[in-house]
């Protein structure tokens, strides 16, 4: 299915690894020019080289999204290299501190808010001007369903993500007259390589019987989990992101799509 992304330039923050890498790879396969905004320079360069080696077009820009000067440079580099910027995927994030609310330090809280909320805001502030000038653009912000339903030990992380959701809806209204669409994708826990590694270590630590019981309890949180026998994959989320970037959603803005195996609606 043609997504209408060929020749269009899309910036993906955190595009050097994990979900971000899957997104930029899929975009390159669709013929898009990808700009990998990555704090880890070596990881970003490696991903860009892999895409170029397969015939794709990629640019890596080392970027700390919590610094507005760096996000402005990110967009400038994209404009200098390619003809305009069509899309932005705000994917870069930090891992939740995973602590009870009263035990989380202010340094940890500040880091979560700076990267998650201000990072997304900085990137959109930098890119919306050029998009407005071209009267075209698509932005996808990656949230979490923990922001929608609440989750223990994730209060400030979920709060920052929820803030991005509110920001997205407000900007969707403000910039719709310029043919700019802003939508969100909200995943829950995914079976990433890191998650597989954690589960393998857990299996070794607790043994097969206890591990099976723990896994069953985890999957019970996801209505589709029992049927599939595992968590969703990052590719499931990446497909939703490309859907929102594509011409198939040209009449959709201000929306949030859960890609979570039913986590947000609760277990059966």
Over the range 88-108, which residues count as b (16 or more CB within 10 Å of their CB) and which as e?
bbbbbbbebbeeeeeebeeeb
Q: State how far the Cα of 60 lies from the Cα of 42, in Å rounded to an integer.
A: 10
Structural domains of the chain, with CATH: 9-190+233-265 (3.40.50.720), 191-231 (no CATH)
CA distances from 152 to 101, 102, 128, 140 (A): 9, 12, 35, 26
Distance, CA of 41 to chain centre: 18
Q: Are 156 and 113 in contact (CB under 8 A)?
A: yes
Q: What pLDDT digit, counting tens, does each position of 22-52 carry?
A: 999 999 999 999 999 999 999 999 999 999 9
Asked whether residue 253 carries a pLDDT value surpassing 50, the answer given is yes
* Residues 166-192, mean pLDDT to the nearest whole number: 97
Q: What is the pLDDT of residue 14?
A: 98
Residues annotated catalytic, as ranges: 157
Q: What pLDDT digit, counting tens, does each position of 116-162 carry?
A: 999 999 999 999 999 999 999 999 999 999 999 998 999 999 999 99
């Amino acid at each position: 299915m043609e997504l209408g992304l060929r020749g269009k330039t899309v910036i993906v923050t955190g595009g050097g690894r994990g979900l971000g890498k899957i997104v930029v790879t899929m975009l390159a396969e669709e013929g898009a020019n990808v700009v990998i905004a990555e704090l880890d320079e070596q990881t970003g360069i490696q991903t860009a080289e892999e895409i170029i080696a397969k015939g794709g077009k990629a640019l890596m820009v080392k970027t700390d999204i919590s610094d507005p000067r760096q996000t402005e440079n990110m967009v400038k580099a994209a404009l200098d290299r390619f003809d305009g910027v069509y899309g932005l995927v705000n994917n870069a994030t930090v891992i939740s501190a995973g602590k009870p609310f009263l035990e989380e330090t202010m340094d940890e809280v500040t880091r979560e808010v700076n990267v998650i909320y201000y990072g997304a805001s900085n990137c959109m502030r930098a890119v919306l001007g050029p998009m407005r000038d071209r009267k075209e653009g698509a932005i996808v912000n990656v949230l979490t369903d923990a922001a929608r339903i609440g989750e223990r030990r994730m209060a400030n992380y979920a709060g920052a993500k929820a803030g991005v959701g509110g920001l997205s809806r407000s900007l969707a209204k403000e910039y719709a007259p310029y043919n700019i669409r802003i939508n969100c994708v909200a995943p829950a826990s995914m079976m990433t390589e890191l998650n597989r590694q954690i589960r393998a270590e857990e299996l070794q630590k607790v043994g097969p019987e206890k591990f099976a019981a723990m896994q069953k309890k985890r999957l019970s949180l996801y209505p589709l989990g029992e049927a599939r026998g595992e968590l969703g994959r990052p590719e499931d989320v990446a497909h939703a992101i490309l859907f929102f970037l594509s011409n198939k959603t040209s009449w959709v803005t201000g929306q949030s799509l859960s890609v979570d195996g039913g986590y947000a609606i609760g277990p059966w």
